[in-house]
Chain A
């Protein structure tokens, strides 16, 4: 495996410059991508699409191939989930004391990944221009904090849970990259992210499958619009 990788690397380095034209000789692109994640399977965190931000670097390694790395950040404040506390199992609020409270959640997600793009030569495109397929893998670090506020008590906030998850996964996608004004890049596409596994802390709060389901659902479908430039 090591030998194969080394051989591939050497081939990538040693190929004639004539074989890798890039776009008018430009092979290195820097991009900012703004994307929407639709939480298809998300429960209490709402059904609105969430916004994420990516910064990525892309380098042309072949007539059809580019390799790149990306860093993505996404944060999300869940809307208050209002609750009523009542000791009477039958809900008799006259005889039993009643309290109101709400859960608030904040979610942060950091993603780093390595992406390979194959531009569709068969349709007449040369990397990094035109239609492409994306494949890659990523690692996510997700942090979920839930606060409980007693509505009737001023400034009372109780942090009841702080969970951290480590989530590796793979990305598949497709899109199209345009060049305007010789250097500027516009990138439109979508990704399907498949989280493979979840490791969460602390282990006592929620079961693994619940975390997995939630993160998986949040990330599985992303559409994005990227803006960038070919640097050199």
Chain B
């Protein structure tokens, strides 16, 4: 706690430029876990349900109960996702703004809690329980503190007016075709719902503004908040891309890779959309402008907490957003956002690592022909960012070029930061991609700049004045002329080398050659278990890979259990059963590991205590790591950004093996069952054979376990099993024991 406070104090006292000049350390949660985190969802649900009025109409009460159930579990899902920060600088700042906003309404201030969530999306939302969330993306885009205060006011009205539950009950009426929705077709019902939602938003705007106006915040620059919403799809700034950002002394991108002009941002206001849940921005802007027109802002300010604090939070949020883009594998957005910040902080190593990782990721996808799966269509990107998107698009068209660009960038980074483990990991991966996947050897690269050959005869490009003139020149003459120009532009000279062959020019030498040769002769050591393959063959479980790993200790990370019953009319996801199952599953893991004589530690988000902040942070980091590893396709391998932190957990827990495990119990309608009943009625003699299918045909339990070695960054074991039965404790026990037994047993 003291360290956190000291950090906060340091943050507020050091000038921004100095603070972010060299590095940025991502924010983590600190201090005791808030009560929201340590109470089971089922307990929250029971408590809230008991407060419901007993005199209410039966179907309304049922809808409200269902709403309370879903909202409580939904809230906990957000809180425990690892993306919600608490006792952090961002949350502290937002709460201070809320303090200023509600200094005359202490009762409401005690009811609402504010959290910042790690999401690049520009948004804020409220839960009926009084938890209000602001995204990192929103913080990164705001212009001033007053705008944040206005958004918080808007969200608080949603809470005080109980908009969420009203909307849910209205939707339930829609489902049942009751009251106003009687005798309406589906389209009319949906439009009615949208109109209802719009009315709520209008009310939140109006009452939110009243709340805002009571505070000391000025309305002078308030209207900009609608621009924040309108342009939320854009990066936090729009700056011309300088192509030298990814270049070095040797690597110079051809001019034709750069767009002369980029697609202009569409500034037109959208008209009112009947099928939207919100009124149009144009309408909202006008309404707010009318309400604040002529207001005297004397004695009021855009900043009550402080401009410095706001800028501090916004700048940090922008760094976080860059990281969040990378986490979401939005590589181009990562590079452009990092580029924007690099203009201000050219020596910031955090940004450089993000760019390097994004380039390595793009290089991997380019060599596996999955580039288009992770990138945008550059033609549709608006704003100056399009230049970068287009450049990368052009570079990737020749297999191997993008990995070389990545390698060149990482080499530069490595040269200026020797010994950095994360950069070394990126270097290894970039080298691997270039040598093994793109089949490029050291001899491909040039170690000196081309000598300009003045004797080369350049065929003049025929000047096309009109179509008739163009018709007079043969197609091949035109193409030959174009080739000649391209050769000069790409720096060919006599040897006609391509621009990419000069990419490693500043790093050429014995050391680089040695590394190339090492990778060239290295046998494929990266024999990872193919997760995709495991999933593909799950139907043939008996062929499942059986291993003996000789592990003594394992850490199970947040075991997962969910119960889904699609036969249920109201909600297929069985919230209460799922949570109870998760608690039981964690206990079952402990017991089974004990019987298998395997030392097992379970990090469970469902039984956290107030002081378990370190455990929660570890769960968050490990889940982030595991999800990232699982997301990567079979042949895609991009180093995890916080690999060092993850590897450090091995020291903390006394093992490098961390397990992700869970079970999903599914019940669904089966037409096959009806067929079997019919068949058995016709031929009763087959009853013994059809009976088991009839009894269990609707139920399936999916069980999975994946074991990661966080030190070597490898998957040691993966299994995905389909149990065609309802979830029985003893069947789960058998599978858990089987997995633990394989982990525990050593090869002779």
Q: Which residues of A contact B (CB under 8 A)?
A: 16-19, 21, 23-25, 63-64, 121-126, 129-131, 174, 176, 178-180, 190
B701 interfacial contact with A, CB 8 Å: yes
Instruction: Give which listed residue, B692, B725, B741, B742, contacts A124 with CB less than 8 A.
Output: B725
- The minimal Cβ–Cβ distance linking A47 to chain B, given in whole angstroms, is 18
Instruction: Give which listed residue, B540, B730, B744, contacts A179 with CB less than 8 A.
Output: B730
The 4 A-B pairs with the shortest beta carbon distances in the complex, nearest first, are A124-B723, A18-B745, A121-B542, A21-B738
- The minimal Cβ–Cβ distance linking B687 to chain A, given in whole angstroms, is 10
B 521-559 binary contact with A (CB < 8 Å = 1; else 0): 000000000000000000111100011100000000000
Task: Please give me the residue from chain A that is nearest to B540 by CB atom.
Answer: A122
Assess the B745–A24 pair: CB atoms within 8 A.
no
Instruction: Give which listed residue, B542, B688, B748, contacts A63 with CB less than 8 A.
Output: B542
Assess the B737–A17 pair: CB atoms within 8 A.
no
| 8 Å CB interface, B713-737 against A | 721-725, 730-731, 733-735, 737
Q: Complex: how many Å from CA A100 to CA B74?
A: 86
Instruction: Give which listed residue, A17, A21, A123, contacts B734 with CB less than 8 A.
Output: A21
Q: Give how many B residues have a beta carbon under 8 Å from the other chain's beta carbons.
A: 33
Q: Complex: how many Å from CA A19 to CA B742?
A: 7
Sample (6) of A-B pairs whose CB atoms are under 8 Å apart: A16-B546, A17-B745, A18-B742, A125-B731, A126-B734, A131-B692
Instruction: Give which listed residue, A126, A176, A180, contacts B738 with CB less than 8 A.
Output: A126
Task: Please give me the residue from chain B that is nearest to A223 by CB atom.
Answer: B688
Using Cβ atoms and an 8 Å threshold, which residues of chain A touch B596? 24-25
Using Cβ atoms and an 8 Å threshold, which residues of chain B touch A126? 734-735, 738
B461 interfacial contact with A, CB 8 Å: no
Instruction: Give which listed residue, B734, B745, B748, contacts A129 with CB less than 8 A.
Output: B734
Task: Please give me the residue from chain A that is nearest to B549 by CB atom.
Answer: A18
Q: Complex: how many Å from CA A18 to CA B549?
A: 9
Assess the B541–A122 pair: CB atoms within 8 A.
yes
Assess the A123–B723 pair: CB atoms within 8 A.
yes
Assess the B542–A24 pair: CB atoms within 8 A.
no
Q: Complex: how many Å from CA A190 to CA B547?
A: 35
Using Cβ atoms and an 8 Å threshold, which residues of chain A touch B546? 16, 18-19, 63
Q: Tell me which of A17, A19, A24, A64 has the highest count of chain B C-beta atoms within 10 A of its own C-beta.
A: A24
B595 interfacial contact with A, CB 8 Å: yes
B569 interfacial contact with A, CB 8 Å: no
Q: Complex: how many Å from CA A19 to CA B738?
A: 8
| 8 Å CB interface, B624-650 against A | none
- The minimal Cβ–Cβ distance linking B664 to chain A, given in whole angstroms, is 13
- The minimal Cβ–Cβ distance linking B690 to chain A, given in whole angstroms, is 11
Using Cβ atoms and an 8 Å threshold, which residues of chain A touch B725? 123-124, 130
Q: Complex: how many Å from CA A24 to CA B598?
A: 12
Q: Complex: how many Å from CA A63 to CA B547?
A: 13
Q: Complex: how many Å from CA A130 to CA B738?
A: 15
Assess the A123–B547 pair: CB atoms within 8 A.
no
Given contact pairs A124-B701, A124-B731, A179-B730, a sample of 10 additional A-B residue pairs in the complex whose CB atoms are under 8 Å apart:
A16-B747, A18-B745, A19-B548, A23-B734, A23-B737, A63-B542, A122-B542, A124-B721, A126-B738, A131-B692
Using Cβ atoms and an 8 Å threshold, which residues of chain A touch B689? 174
Q: Tell me which of A18, A64, A123, A190 has the highest count of chain B C-beta atoms within 10 A of its own C-beta.
A: A18
Contacts known (A19-B546, A124-B701, A174-B689); A24 close to B724, Cβ less than 8 A: no
Assess the A129–B747 pair: CB atoms within 8 A.
no
B135 interfacial contact with A, CB 8 Å: no
Assess the A130–B731 pair: CB atoms within 8 A.
yes
Using Cβ atoms and an 8 Å threshold, which residues of chain A touch B734? 21, 23-24, 125-126, 129, 179
Using Cβ atoms and an 8 Å threshold, which residues of chain B touch A121? 541-542
Assess the A124–B737 pair: CB atoms within 8 A.
no
Assess the A129–B730 pair: CB atoms within 8 A.
yes
Assess the B730–A25 pair: CB atoms within 8 A.
no
Task: Please give me the residue from chain A that is nearest to B745 by CB atom.
Answer: A18
Task: Please give me the residue from chain B that is nearest to A127 by CB atom.
Answer: B734
B 691-703 binary contact with A (CB < 8 Å = 1; else 0): 0100000000101
B193 interfacial contact with A, CB 8 Å: no
- The minimal Cβ–Cβ distance linking B642 to chain A, given in whole angstroms, is 33
B592 interfacial contact with A, CB 8 Å: yes
Q: Complex: how many Å from CA A179 to CA B747?
A: 30
Assess the A190–B737 pair: CB atoms within 8 A.
no
Task: Please give me the residue from chain B that is nearest to A118 by CB atom.
Answer: B542
Q: Complex: how many Å from CA A187 to CA B692?
A: 14
Q: Complex: how many Å from CA A176 to CA B691?
A: 12
